[in-house]
Amino acid sequence: GAGVSQSPSNKVTEKGKDVELRCDPISGHTALYWYRQSLGQGLEFLIYFQGNSAPDKSGLPSDRFSAERTGGSVSTLTIQRTQQEDSAVYLCASSLRRVETQYFGPGTRLLVL
Partner 1 sequence: AQKVTQAQTEISVVEKEDVTLDCVYETRDTTYYLFWYKQPPSGELVFLIRRNSFDEQNEISGRYSWNFQKSTSSFNFTITASQVVDSAVYFCALPPSGAGSYQLTFGKGTKLSVIP
Query: Rounded CA gap, 36 and 1, in Å?
Result: 25
Of 47 and 79, CB closest to partner 1: 47
Does 93 engage in binding with partner 1 (CB under 8 A)?
Answer: yes
Does 107 engage in binding with partner 1 (CB under 8 A)?
Answer: yes
Read off the DSSP letter of residue 102.
P
Cα–chain center distance at 82: 15
Does 89 engage in binding with partner 1 (CB under 8 A)?
Answer: yes
3 state SS of 84: helix
Query: For the window 8-47, what string marks contact with partner 1 as x by the rule CB under 8 A?
Result: -----------------------x-x-x------xx-x--
Does 65 engage in binding with partner 1 (CB under 8 A)?
Answer: no
Of 15 and 98, CB closest to partner 1: 98
Query: Rounded CA gap, 19 and 12, in Å?
Result: 9
Q: Which residues contact 38 (CB under 8 A, 6 or more apart)?
A: 44, 87, 88, 89
Binding site for partner 1 (CB under 8 A): 31, 33, 35, 42-43, 45, 48, 55-56, 59, 89, 91, 93, 98-107, 109
